[in-house]
A = this chain, B = another copy of it.
């Protein structure tokens, strides 16, 4: 997605350790017009009209998924939760995920009633690196008996192996920008 790549080059900030910060437009401050274009692009890439639900994970995925849902006939968005709350008390679909950014393992949880065998689910998230969160969401869909329609990612770090692993699982994965490598403060897209 050219608009996104140009925006990453213009406003993305590179930090030590190949960390790309896109917090001015994607995951701390959100550019709503860009989110709308991202939503339209996901619809183009996943034209499957049987998609009746979008699954994402808190926190950064939520805004992207909510805006994108508007281009999928306003299907409901379910966001997986990362921590136990008193409000989470029904039967749960749950799996463990390692966050390398935060350096901790956490539980990903979805109330079972929100994913059923009748659902055709598109997964949306902001980043794909090692693929831990995405594998967790796919596991939860498998537990639920729902059908995985595909995974839409805004930015994939192609120099980490998450995308390769997910694609080798036979999942329809689409990343709007794949970063092949970052060298000397230069971003190269695939």
Give chain A's interface residues, CB within 8 Å of chain B: 15, 19, 21, 23-24, 27-33, 35-36, 58-59, 62-63, 65-67, 69-70, 74-79, 81, 83-89, 101-103, 110-111, 113-114
Contact = CB atoms under 8 A, between A and B. Distances in A.
A146 to B, nearest CB: 13
B28 A66 contact: no
11 contacts: A29-B78, A30-B79, A31-B76, A32-B66, A32-B74, A58-B62, A59-B81, A63-B77, A66-B67, A67-B67, A86-B103
B63 A66 contact: yes
A39 to B, nearest CB: 10
A24 B66 contact: no
B32 A75 contact: yes
A74 B33 contact: yes
Contacts of A75: 32
Copy number in the complex reads: 2
B58 A86 contact: no
A102 to B, nearest CB: 6
A86 B19 contact: yes
Contact of A101 (B78, B86, B110, B111): B86
Contact of A65 (B31, B63, B70, B89): B63
Given A59-B59, A65-B63, A101-B86, A114 B77 contact: no
